[in-house]
Amino acid sequence: MVVLIFNIANAFILTSCWNYKETDNLTLVRGFSVDRVEDGNYFISIETADMHQAGTEGKGKAAIIESEGESMFDAVRNAVLVNVPRLYWAHSTAVILSQQVAQEGFLKVLDFLIRDAETRLDIHPFVYRGEYAKEIFNTTPISAVMVSEELKDMLHGQKFTSKTLLVQIYEVIERLEGEGISVVMPAVCVTEVNGAKTIKLCGLAIFKGDKLVGFLDEDETKYFCFATDEVDGGLLVVDAEHEGKKGKITLEILNSGTRFKARYKDDEISIQIRIRVRTSMNDVQIEEFPSTDNAINDLKRQANEQLKKDIENLIKKVQEINSDIFGFGSLVKKQLPKVWKEKGKDWDNNFKELKVEIIPEVEIVHTALLKDSIKKGD
C-alpha cells in the first residue's frame, strides 16, 4: 500500500524532468554561421524560428541573433545575453563557415557540434564563398521562410542537378579521420535574383585535413559526383556535331552507376572508373538531327569523349591541389589492403601521380516525346 501510494505520488510529483523546458520558452535554432573576428573571437550569427510570433496563422518567422565568444560554446552561451529564452539546438540543420574559419581549420568549430548532446550529427555544413558568413542571413530565401531551411531543401534538390553534394557532419568526421579520403563541403554564395539578394549553392569546398584549400565550381562538382558515384540525376550538355553542323544536345540523366577498380601493376597503382549513365535526349539544338542509329551512336561517342575529358581535367586539377576528395586512397585500402599498407604512408605523393582511367558508357534510352527532330520546311 505504501509502495502504491508512493508510486502514484511519484508519477505526478516527480516527472523525472529536473530541468524541464517548456517548448514555448525555447528558441529553436535552425542554422548558424561562424565568423572569426579580429581579436580571435568567434562571431556567430544564429537564425532562429521565432515561436512567439508564429501564432495561429502558422507562418513562421526568422529572427537573427548575433553573439561573440572566445570559443564556439562560449559564443553559443553568450547568445543568452541578447536573447532571454535559451536556444534549443536539436533542430539546427545548417552550419555555415566563413572562408577564414575554414582555412584555419573547421575542427575547432565543429567539435562543439559533434560533442554536444543537443545538436545532431545530421547537420549540413557549408562553406561561404564570400567575406563574412553572417551575410548569408541578410538574404531573402525564395521559397522557404528561413535561409537554413532553404539551404537544406536546395541540397536535397541535388538529385536534379548533381551540381552540389549532400554532406552531413558525421560524414565529415568519417572522411576527416579516414585514410586516403579528404573532406568536401558544399559551398554557398550570395547572388542577386530579380533585384533581391538570395543564396545560391556554388560547387564544393575542398579540404586538406580540416583546412580549406580550394573550391570546385558547379560543373566541376557534377564531374566530381560522376567520379564518386553520387549522381542521381541532372543533365549532360554535349557539344555535338552532326554532318558538319554544330550545336548543343542536352541529355537528361535518368540514372547513373559508377564502378571502381583499383589495380596494382609494376609498382604502380591505377584506378579504373567505369561510369554507366542512362540518359534520354531532351533538348536538341542541331537542325534536323535525325534519330537514326548512326546519329545516336555518334552522339553517344561524343558524349563519352566529352565526359571522359571533363572528368580527367577535374582529376588533374584536384591532383594539383593534392587533396584526395575522391577517396581513391580509401578505395585502394578497401580493394588492395596489402598495397595500401605499403603505399598509404606516402599517399600525398602517390595521389599526385595516380593514374586514373575513365570509361564512360553513356546510353540513350529514349528521345522523350519526339520520334524525330522538328524540321523547317520553309
Partner 1 sequence: MQKEIINQKQAIVLMVTFIMGSGTIVGTGDKSGQDIWIALLIAMAGASIIMAVYARIIKLFPGMDLFDLLDKLFGRILGKFIALIFTWYLFHVGLNLIRNTSEFIRIISLDATPQCVIALFTGVLIAYALRCGIEVIGRWVSIFFPVIIVISITLSVIAVDMYDFDRLKPVLYEGLKPVLSDAFGIFAHPFAETVVFLGIAGCFQKQSNPHKIFNIALLIGGLYMLMLAVRTIALMGPVNKSLQMFPPYITARIIKIGDFFQRIELINAVIIVTAVFTKVTVYMFSFAKGMSYLLKIDDYRTLSTPLVFFTAAYSIFLFDNALFMVKWALNVFPYYAIPFEIIIPLLVWIAAEIKARNDKKTTSQNQSTNSSGSNAGMQC
- Residues in contact with 168: Cβ distance below 8 Å, sequence separation at least 6, in sequence order: 121, 122, 123, 124, 125
Question: Least Å distance between CB 239 and partner 1?
Answer: 35
Question: Least Å distance between CB 117 and partner 1?
Answer: 6
Question: Least Å distance between CB 10 and partner 1?
Answer: 8
What count of other Cβ atoms lies within 10 Å of the Cβ of residue 52? 11
By C-beta, is 19 or 56 nearer to partner 1?
A: 19
By C-beta, is 5 or 117 nearer to partner 1?
A: 117
Question: Least Å distance between CB 334 and partner 1?
Answer: 4
By C-beta, is 147 or 202 nearer to partner 1?
A: 147
Question: Least Å distance between CB 124 and partner 1?
Answer: 13
Question: Least Å distance between CB 17 and partner 1?
Answer: 7
Q: What is the DSSP pairing of strand 124-128 with strand 184-193?
A: parallel
Question: Least Å distance between CB 9 and partner 1?
Answer: 12
Residue (of 157, 165, 311, 159) closest to 233 by Cα position: 159
Grid cell for residue 81: 545575453
Phi, psi (degrees; rounded to nearest 5) at 129: -90, 85
By C-beta, is 30 or 36 nearer to partner 1?
A: 30
Where along the sequence are the contacts to partner 1 (CB under 8 A)?
3, 7, 10, 14, 16-19, 90, 117, 120-122, 168, 170, 173-174, 177-178, 333-335, 337, 340
By C-beta, is 2 or 369 nearer to partner 1?
A: 2
By C-beta, is 118 or 320 nearer to partner 1?
A: 118
By C-beta, is 10 or 191 nearer to partner 1?
A: 10
